[in-house]
Amino acid sequence: MANRKPKEFEKIAMKFEDFEGILSFPDVFGRKNAVHIEVGSGKGTFLVNEAAASPAVDFLGIEWARKYYLFAVDRMGRKGLTNVRMIRTDAAMFIEKNIATDSVDCFHIYFPDPWPKRSHHKRRFVCAQNIVQILRCLKKHGHINIATDHKDYFQWMQKEFAAFDDELKQVDFIKPVGAKENECAGTNFERKYIKEKRNIFTIAFRKK
């Protein structure tokens, strides 16, 4: 796609400025089905594979980087996927302000920015404040699926989630359909990190 401009398919690309208040998934997808949200979708590799394999599930990807957002929308549109949408916005703010309580079946968080400098840790997406909002949005028995290549961030995640033992049960990581035998999540970032011989860490939870 380097030699052509990506096409912004209107049925897939959601404009944050086009709506206010709580998002209605039945209105967005035209049906009432299970809903999965991916935080930080990158180029959309997970969403493209998962949406194609699970037509009875609706997927929403949130991505801040414009070039990745456009790339993902283009891929999804050209594949004719109807059960996936993308929005370019700040994920933490969007989840808190625009996602309804008890409306999401699963959150996918693959290789979020680790913000390794101590002074930047407050920017990490996986933190107590955001876990509170994820829990609010999750349906009963809903899942959280996470993968990272950053050991310090993984240990941070474990500590942050430990405060929610009364509400979450740690479970086995659910391997996405697009992940190959030697992969956990099957994203572009993971494939890059595997080539660099980095270790991959996973953690998953189910809402009680």
Per-residue 3-state assignment (H helix, E strand, C coil) for 73-100 = HHHHHHCCCCCEEEECCCHHHHHHHHCC
Helix (H) or strand (E) run with residue 152 in it: helix 151-162
Position 1 scores a pLDDT of 52
Vertex 114, ends 50 and 193: CA angle to 5°?
60
Position 33 scores a pLDDT of 97
Give me the domains of the chain, ranges plus CATH numbers. 13-207 (3.40.50.150)
Say if residues 168 and 144 touch (Cβ distance below 8 Å).
yes
Which pLDDT tens digit goes with each residue over 41-89?
999 999 999 999 999 999 999 999 999 999 999 999 999 999 999 999 9
Position 8 scores a pLDDT of 80
Mean pLDDT, all residues of the chain: 94
Residue 106 CB contacts under 8 Å (≥ 6 apart), including other chains: 34, 36, 37, 142, 143, 144, 145, 174
Cα–Cα separations (whole angstroms), residue 43 to 109, 110, 156: 14, 12, 26
pLDDT average, residue stretch 157-168? 97
Position 5 scores a pLDDT of 73
Alpha-carbon distance 44 to 74, whole Å?
A: 9
Say if residues 202 and 146 touch (Cβ distance below 8 Å).
yes
User: Tokens in use for 184?
Assistant: 């956990």
Alpha-carbon distance 171 to 145, whole Å?
A: 9
Which pLDDT tens digit goes with each residue over 93-119?
999 999 999 999 999 999 999 999 999
User: Hey, which residues are catalytic here?
Assistant: 113
Say if residues 97 and 84 touch (Cβ distance below 8 Å).
no
pLDDT average, residue stretch 202-208? 98
Position 103 scores a pLDDT of 98
Task: Determine the straight-line distance between the first and last CA of the chain, rounded to whole angstroms.
Answer: 43
